[in-house]
Amino acid sequence: MKSLIYSDWVRHLKILLAGTALSLSVMGAGTSEVWANSSNQKIKQTIETLQQSDQRWIQIDLAKQRLIAWEGGKPVYAILISSGKKSTPTRIGKFKIQSKHKSTRMRGRDYDVPNVPYAMFYQGNYGIHGAYWHRKFGTPVSHGCVNIAPDHAKWLFNWASVGTPVVISKTLK
Catalytic residues: 129, 145
Phi, psi of 34 (to 5 degrees): -65, -45
Enumerate residues 6+ apart whose C-beta is below 8 A from 33: none
Report how far residue 72's alpha carbon sits from residue 107's, in angstroms, rounded to the nearest whole number.
35
The answer to whether the beta carbons of residues 75 and 68 sit under 8 Å apart is yes
The answer to whether the beta carbons of residues 108 and 50 sit under 8 Å apart is no
The answer to whether the beta carbons of residues 99 and 106 sit under 8 Å apart is no
Query: What is the three-class DSSP state of 131?
Result: coil
Report how far residue 139's alpha carbon sits from residue 145's, in angstroms, rounded to the nearest whole number.
13
